[in-house]
Chain A
Amino acid sequence: MSETVLEVRHLSKSFLNSGGKETNEVLNDLSLTVEKNEFLCILGPSGCGKTTMLRCVAGFETYEGEILTEHGVTHGPGTDRIMVFQDFNQLFPWKTVEKNIQYALKLQGIRDKAVLKKKSDEALHKVKLDGYQNYYPYQLSGGMKQRVAIAKAFALKPGIILMDEPFAALDAMTRNRLQRKLLELHSQEGCTILFITHNILEAIALGTRVIVLQNGGRIVVDERNPIPRPVTPDSPGYGAFWTKLHDALYVE
């Protein structure tokens, strides 16, 4: 009934230490399967390898093991897996907001100017940035830049969107707004999201499934989110789920 869109098989990743000789094993034999339309939130203590795992999936790193999407084994980056970075400065500063989106679409082979304009306008409308088409990234706030990055990712209609703490550096109010926006986009657009966060509340509010990693990329919790959307602290089961994630996170 459900369809697998991402399969991570026995993923191991080591970095050379600064000496250049010894290696530092960050991920050790991590396996994970993600179903279509899942919103997978990834929790874990700092340094446990969350970013490394996501970067392997994106194809930015070399690794041992295999990563498969709907199109088979992946080799390097691809537009079927679009990354939204934590860094606000991920848009090209030399292009306006709409040109950033259109450029990405053009690379996918869309040539018609009117089509590009329509698509970028729609994408910006979805994140409530109508009217900012001709702004340059430096003229936007951090939250607005992240919205453009998200709009761009959705406009590309990738099978999978990879997000590495995209809201971590935002104030609580903006983060809340963007979380709601992201939930809305996820239910409307039908796509699979892998979302790293430090924040248990964020994981519960967003994820349809939550995993907790510990050092070495060991998956210590892998649970379907039992709480129906929209999640509020009063939702039945909230406290129990929170406690479970919290205990797994702060075990050591």
Chain B
Amino acid sequence: MEEKKDRRRALITKIVFIIAMLVLWEILAKAHIFGKRSELVFPPLEAIGAAFVKNFSTGFAGTSLWLYILNSMLLLLEGLVIGIVIAFIFSGLSMVSKTIDTIFNLCVSIFDLLPGVALLPVVIVIFGVKPGVIVFLVVHAVLWPMARNVLDGFKSVPEIYVESGRNLGMNSVQMLTGIYVPASATYIISGLKVGWARAWRGLLSAEMIFGIASMPGIGMYINQMRTNMKNAEMYATLIVIIIIGLVVQYGILEPIERATVKKWGLMK
């Protein structure tokens, strides 16, 4: 009962705060406090709203924002899948071989410290300005935090599950998929969260630094709006980015959490 009340109060607080910020924005927009530049810094809400619709209907140079989003998402998905698969393969091998464990841990420690964007010059020399660059950056962003978490998760699996598994005659593949992965679900999910956040940021940065003509993405769209002084459209795109973040958080990550660790009582 109390809990429900608290949650309602928090919700009301959030809504009131957001409305207040929007009103403030509109007042600043109408007051033209930046003179001529005001249109760029604080475009009025109705302009941003109209730009939001226009982004999707006409888009830029005849290409709807949908297509840019689709391109970004395809590259992101490809990179995430590759990164996660590699993380699992090497974490699994690390459980079997002490040598692989040492080397892989060293790699994780070193490469985790390198922001992907810093690698861009090298990567462009290798791949050229191709979609492969973005995929590479996404893999780099997700692989190391994911591997760190999977490794830690595997190592913290309670001995009693491993012994139960051995007692039931499970082979190493069955142990990996049937015990190590579910038993370290909490770690894996937190790796997913960190990996996703880094990949998403890395993708946007890379796309803003250089657009790939054959596969233009959201970051490039923002950049095009900026160079064309279409700031209302730019703000509208930022809102799209926030919405995508929310969709991933509440539409993918939280349902995964609810269907696994929360359901199993491993996490409240």
Contacts and interface: CB of A to CB of B under 8 A. Distances in A.
Q: Do A and B come from one complex?
A: yes
Interface in A48-103: 58-60, 76-79, 81-83, 85, 87, 89-90, 92-94, 103
B169 A79 contact: yes
A93 B164 contact: no
Interface stretch (A131-139, A183-191, A216-224): A131-139
A136 B267 CA distance: 13
Interface in A36-50: none
A90 B266 CA distance: 14
A114 interface: no
Contacts of B260: 94
B166 A60 contact: yes
Contacts of A87: 160
Chain B interface mostly: helix
Contacts of A82: 167
A156 B168 CA distance: 9
Given A87-B160, A107-B174, A93 B167 contact: no
Interface in B171-187: 174, 178-179, 182-183, 185
Contacts of B168: 79, 103-104, 107, 156
A79 B185 CA distance: 27
B145 to A, nearest CB: 23
Interface in B2-39: none
B167 A83 contact: yes
A137 B183 CA distance: 14
Contacts, number: 61
B210 interface: no
A78 B169 contact: yes
B41 to A, nearest CB: 52
Contacts of B111: none
Given A77-B169, A78-B169, A90 B264 contact: no
B160 A89 contact: yes
A93 B160 CA distance: 12
Given A87-B160, A139-B265, A94 B169 contact: no
Contact of A107 (B161, B170, B185): B170
A93 B266 contact: yes
Given A89-B158, A92-B161, A94-B260, A58 B174 contact: no
Contacts of B163: 58, 60, 77, 83, 85
A60 B168 CA distance: 12
B179 to A, nearest CB: 7
A136 B263 contact: yes
B4 to A, nearest CB: 22
B138 to A, nearest CB: 29
A103 B169 CA distance: 12
A139 B266 CA distance: 11
Contacts of B179: 92
A76 B166 contact: yes
Interface in A201-252: none
A148 B183 CA distance: 19
B174 A94 contact: no
Contacts of A58: 163, 167
A86 B187 CA distance: 27
- The 4 tightest CB contacts between A and B, nearest first, are A138-B265, A94-B182, A77-B166, A94-B264
8 contacts: A59-B167, A77-B169, A78-B167, A92-B182, A93-B264, A94-B185, A94-B266, A107-B169
Interface of B: 158, 160-161, 163-164, 166-170, 174, 178-179, 182-183, 185, 260, 263-266
Given A93-B266, A108-B169, 16 more contacts: A77-B166, A77-B167, A79-B167, A79-B168, A81-B167, A83-B164, A83-B167, A85-B160, A90-B161, A94-B182, A94-B183, A94-B185, A107-B169, A107-B170, A136-B263, A137-B265
